[in-house]
């Protein structure tokens, strides 16, 4: 684990200075940007916030990390050798749109339960477990946004 750069590092070697700038300027700016995006997504209607993710994340990946799309395409080609290259690329882009949707929906999770977007197969068992006052371990499948379980519990 890297140490937190001190003010003294700003006046140290070029490596120390780069570490200081990265930690105190770039990472802070990145965090503020993330908070701003999250806050703006929270103000949007749920479906609009979800749609933004289907557009935003693939656009960022295409610009900043195009090799991720290429790698995802290669993974589809390996997993599905019967698919042609264009179909694999289409699936890779669909994958990144789905990831984007999952990420941006985190900002609007608080609305999912009241909107009826979450269903439980046996909510009586969960209510009984909560009412018991004892610790509860919940086991679920990782399908889509697995952290939606926190909204339910």
**Domain residue ranges of the chain, discontinuous segments joined by +:** 1-42, 44-152
Summarised one tens digit per residue, pLDDT across range 1-37 is 568 999 999 999 999 999 999 999 999 999 999 999 9
- Residue 96 pLDDT > 80: yes
97-112: string of b/e by CB count within 10 Å (b at 16+)?
bebbbbbbbbbbbeeb
With a pLDDT cut of 70, the percent of the chain lying above it is: 95
- Residue 146 host element (H or E): none
Whether the Cβ atoms of residue 125 and residue 131 lie closer than 8 Å to each other: no
φ, ψ of residue 145 to 5 degrees: the values are -90, 90
Provide the mean pLDDT of the chain: 89
């Amino acid at each position: 684990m890297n140490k937190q750069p001190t003010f003294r590092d700003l006046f140290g070697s070029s490596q120390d200075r780069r570490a200081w700038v990265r930690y105190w300027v770039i990472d802070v700016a990145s965090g503020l940007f993330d908070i701003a995006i999250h806050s703006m997504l929270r103000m949007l209607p749920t479906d609009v916030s979800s749609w933004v993710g289907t557009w935003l994340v693939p656009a960022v990946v295409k610009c900043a990390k195009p090799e991720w799309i290429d790698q995802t395409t290669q993974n589809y080609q390996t997993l599905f050798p019967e698919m042609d290259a264009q179909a694999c690329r289409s699936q890779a882009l669909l994958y990144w749109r789905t990831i984007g949707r999952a990420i941006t929906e985190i900002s609007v999770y608080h609305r999912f339960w009241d909107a009826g977007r979450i269903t439980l197969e046996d909510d009586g068992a969960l209510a009984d477990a909560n009412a018991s006052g004892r610790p509860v371990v919940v086991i679920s499948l990782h399908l889509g946004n697995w952290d939606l379980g926190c909204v339910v519990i």
